[in-house]
A and B are shown apart, each in its own frame.
Chain A
Amino acid sequence: MGTKDEGNNERELLIHKRQQERYLNKSRQISAKYLNKLDELPGIPTNLSYFKSILYKIFVENEIVSYKENEIYVGIFCVLMPMELIYACGARPVKLCSGDYVGFQFGDDVVPRDACPLVKAVVGNNYIGNNNTYNACSMYIVPVTCDCKKKMAAIISEYKETYILHVPINKKNDETMDLYVKSLHEIVHTIEQKTGEKITYKKLKKSVQMYRETQREIRRFIELKRSLKPLIRGSHAMAVINSIAYDDIARYTKQLAILNKELETRRDNGDYLTNKKLPRILVTGSPITFPNLKIPLLIEEMGGLVVADETCIGDRGFTDPVSVAEESLEGYFRAIANRYVSACSCPVFSDNEQRIHKIKQMIIDQKVEGIIYHVLRGCLVYDYEYQILEQVFGAMEIPIIRLESDYNEEDIEQLRIRIEAFIEMIKFKK
């Protein structure tokens, strides 16, 4: 009996090992393919190579980007976990919301069919257990935003220490905001125990300042992206913003400044991507994470230009700086809470009118001509808001379409046809 069990165990181990190998091979292949696709898209800035090298290291070499020995990494999900706090505790945040197609396939067996692909990918990566970005993290922090994330927290807690962060549903209520601040304190306490460093006013101020600098560069970058004659393509810009999840923030800021400078000199020299007027598209909706860049890539292959994105792994996380009204540790906590929750336009909040205002402002600022509303299959909260947006922007006569996609390449042709038709329609309207 015992020997039989052992034999079974051995076989299971063997299968798991083979799964791991298969996972790595396929995952590398797909990531390398999408990095190549970024290269193939004409007009790639030379200084983009740094950001690509980060993605390459994470997704192809399967190694965490590390600059210090014994650095403590905290895996976070969603933009609702303040990264300033993690830096102030002496750890480094790594955003783990995944776009991994292969992780998705493995996760598909673990979570229900209708769960969103992002959760499937995260669970799959944990299940497979040889994604080193995940392995390097000492703990996970999951803000309780949508239902999928809630249950994901329960599943991944089997693999690693996981803490949940309560997020208020109603942003306008002061008491729920206080509760959020309180749960931030609790989270910070657990990180402090991991790093052995105590959070202080000075450290927090420093890390907030560090992020302000990043935000300044990102704003500069967004302003360059919105230039009427294109300087950078949206897919490239998305790769840049995506790589922030895995890099040290100070280094990242420096590199982004270099990229900005390159784009600025090109603007001054009149060296644009093209002098043709490309249809200017705004992408909003469910998260678009590397390597799942198929939608922006398709848009730009079909002759469109992604000038703006209102997605959480895109520009949303970095447009608003922390504005401190009270110079004390608690004041900083509250200011951070305000910026991360109140300014967030994620549809998980019950009253989310500001998202419409925000997109309207983007349409004015970036001269948007069409909106592509991306919905990951199973991402209900975003799907709910499509109707309102369709109504509002329909009245403004801005074309909008809803694209549903999954983490695989099966739907790519279907998406291509729809995107092509949409872009042709905008061109025709002009």
Chain B
Amino acid sequence: MKHKIFHGLRWVIMTLSLLFLAFGIRLTGKWLHTTDLPVFSCPFNTDQVIHSYCYYLSHLNKLVEYHSVKYAITYIIIFIILAIVFGRVFCGFICPMGYLQDIVWKIRDILHIEGFSRKEKFVESIKTARYLVLFVFLSITFFGFDFCSICPASITTQSIAGFKQVINVGFIFGIILMILGFFMRRFWCNICPLGYLVGLFYKISLFRIKKDCTACTKCRACYEACPMKIKEIYTDDDKDVTKTECIFCGECIKKCPEDKALSISIGNIKIYTSSRKDFEEYHK
């Protein structure tokens, strides 16, 4: 039962968030035009006056250029607070790019096409690539380029919103990522620089993944299910297995067959716990 609530809610929120981010401006009219969205406000800003976090993170010089130093500091503090409170829950619930990747993965599931199997070395190389992408994300503006023109999230939301796209490097990049996402769940999320920055504060963030090592039989189901390829969730013997990559999608808990072995909690309150009964119901 809890499976249905948690995952149903997740899909509903993700769908609503995509609809809002893509078509919000058309539904709400112009008044939202002047409102700042925290992220992905690109379809909202036809006149390119953008105030979202992701824009300024990739255009750090503009933060001071457009505003004052005081503004920049407040901006960063609010970012940190939001990251601590929500962390990468954003990735699992809000991000339209993640949602689209989940959809292509679901399509692969329906077609029963074989995905990439988990290769440790390959995963390690992606994790290195993540730092490279992060570096590009933060510094590209200083070399006079605009990250938004190659940002896959910007391109996909704008295309869905009905903006005409020029076939450029970014567009092709977006298509390649979707194909990779088809074979490897949430491929982009593994190297996403924004997700990385949001996940930096995982040690003190409010959302936690907890594990009961005695209940766990170490069957690897969680690791196999994890779209972020977090191996520690399977190997670690700690009570708290929250990692910087975790997006709180709940897949590990859905696939966990043991009672109370894994759970997502806000602070100390468990909101979603694995159970055999749910597992059996789901697989009936």
- List residues of A whose CB falls within 8 A of some B CB: 171-175, 177-178, 181, 201, 209, 212, 216, 219, 319-321, 323-331, 334-335, 338-339, 342-343, 345, 353-354, 357-358, 360-361, 364
Contacts and interface: CB of A to CB of B under 8 A. Distances in A.
Nearest to A171: B218
A41 B276 CA distance: 33
A329 B214 CA distance: 31
A173 B235 CA distance: 10
A174 B120 contact: yes
Contacts of A171: 218, 220
B217 A358 contact: yes
A209 B284 CA distance: 8
**Interface core residue of B219, B237, B280 (most chain A CB under 10 Å):** B219
Given A343-B218, A361-B214, A216 B280 contact: yes
B218 A323 contact: no
A354 B224 contact: no
A323 B235 contact: no
B218 A174 contact: no
Interface stretch (B159-167, B192-200, B250-258): B250-258
19 contacts: A172-B235, A175-B120, A177-B220, A178-B119, A181-B117, A209-B283, A212-B280, A321-B279, A323-B224, A325-B225, A325-B255, A326-B109, A326-B114, A327-B112, A331-B115, A334-B117, A335-B224, A338-B220, A361-B215
Given A320-B257, A321-B279, A354-B217, A174 B118 contact: yes
B217 to A, nearest CB: 5
A319 B256 CA distance: 13
A323 B256 contact: yes
Contact of A320 (B120, B217, B224, B283): B217
Nearest to B213: A357
A53 to B, nearest CB: 29
Nearest to B219: A343
A330 B114 contact: yes
Contact of A326 (B115, B119, B217, B220): B115
B216 A327 contact: no
B257 A342 contact: no
B277 to A, nearest CB: 10
Interface of B: 108-110, 112-115, 117-120, 213-221, 224-225, 231, 234-235, 237, 251, 255-257, 276, 279-280, 283
Nearest to B276: A219
B199 to A, nearest CB: 22
Nearest to B120: A174
Nearest to A172: B235
Given A319-B217, A320-B219, 7 more contacts: A320-B217, A320-B257, A323-B221, A328-B115, A342-B219, A354-B216, A364-B214
Given A328-B112, A338-B224, A353-B237, A323 B117 contact: no
A338 B216 contact: no
Contacts of B221: 323, 325, 335, 338-339
A329 B112 contact: yes
Nearest to B212: A361
A323 B118 contact: no
B250 to A, nearest CB: 13
Contacts of B114: 326, 328-331
B251 A325 contact: yes
Contacts of B218: 171, 342-343, 354
A354 B211 CA distance: 14
B109 to A, nearest CB: 4
Nearest to A364: B214
B214 A357 contact: yes
A343 B213 CA distance: 13
Contacts of B112: 201, 327-329
Contacts of B113: 328
B214 A334 contact: no
Contacts of B118: 174
A343 B115 CA distance: 23
Nearest to B258: A320
A219 B113 CA distance: 32
A334 B224 contact: yes
A98 to B, nearest CB: 27
B117 to A, nearest CB: 6
A309 to B, nearest CB: 16
Nearest to A321: B257
A164 B37 CA distance: 61
Contacts of B256: 323
Contacts of B115: 326, 328, 330-331
Contacts of B108: 328
Given A323-B225, A325-B225, A338 B219 contact: yes
Contacts of A172: 234-235
B255 A323 contact: yes
Contacts of A339: 219-221
B59 to A, nearest CB: 38
A152 B215 CA distance: 35
A364 B219 CA distance: 20
A58 to B, nearest CB: 30
A323 B109 CA distance: 15
A211 to B, nearest CB: 11
A321 B283 contact: yes
Nearest to B119: A174
Contact of B219 (A178, A209, A216, A323): A323
Nearest to A175: B120
Contacts of A353: 237
Contacts of A343: 217-220
A427 B114 CA distance: 57
Contacts of A328: 108-109, 112-115
